[in-house]
Structure 1
Amino acid sequence: MPDLLWDDVKVLFDPEFNGALPDVVVEGTTVEDWQVLLDLVRAQGWQYAYSVGGEPMEFSSAADMAAAAYGAGAPELRVTPELRVWPIPEVLMIFRMYQTESIDFDVDLRELQGQERLDVLVDVLCVIGRRLGKSVLMSAEGSPGRPDLGFDVEADRVVKMVDPGV
């Protein structure tokens, strides 16, 4: 049985209600956690594209991503490394290294309609959360700190964190 049933959470996936691009975050991370994520993308066989400051580049190490994100000590040289990941061809997740202390990514709710697509999201959140040993939380667009759902480390599954009927 799935962790979440579509009928129980579909209001959270309504772009009109939640914004089209909810915020997904893993907090309390390090460069090493970012490297675990990069290795995980490769190990899962997910399709990906990597860019720095909008320029396509070869897939890099987390240390190289951090150097770009932090501008090698010069703020004017800062750019945002971006890793576009497709766990399936119809679902895109965009990971951006704004800082090493959190792994931030977006998903497009318009691509996550129905039980099958919800299951894809749940699987990705579980794989990331289990590999990192950290919670992976999804909040409505622009509402960080108020997660709607996420991978709960202690429960070892994705759970609702709000009452979708509210």
Structure 2
Amino acid sequence: MQRPPALPRLIIFSTLFGIAFGPLLTGCGGSEAPEKTTPPPPRLLPRPPETSAPPAFPGAITAADLTLGPVDKAMAQKGATTYNVKCQSCHTLTDKRVVGPGWKGIIAKRSPEWIMNMTVHTDAMLSVDTAAQKMLEECLVRMPNQNLSVQEAREVLELMRSI
């Protein structure tokens, strides 16, 4: 009896060997785990020295810019509309904090111009105002810029004054 030629037998053997053990060999890579990257901790803003002067930055709203009389109910109603669209997900009309502080009683804690500046110029306030920086440390979430106009912020202030 004649033996089959060696070359076809070698090809068949190599193919069967590759099919049987190929997946095992490719799955046996190094045992090193993929490198886990952890995000760096959030950087806190440097604290400026304590000062009693109002925040100084371009466009800052001062007490002289505001004339407050009795609560304007029409403005407060417009402020409520703005609140429902842009503020409600983070703030409540009670004293309870959700993401940001609740608004009830905020007028007793903060001046109207401070509230207006925090609403309109959030980034500037967080960079220069120690009270704003302290709130950021407590709340751990930076208030996003809602692009409120000065008029919208004034209407929101009236809402805050009405609660």
TM-score by length of 2: 0.28
More helix by share: 2
More strand by share: 1
TM-score by length of 1: 0.27
Larger-gyration structure (1/2): 2
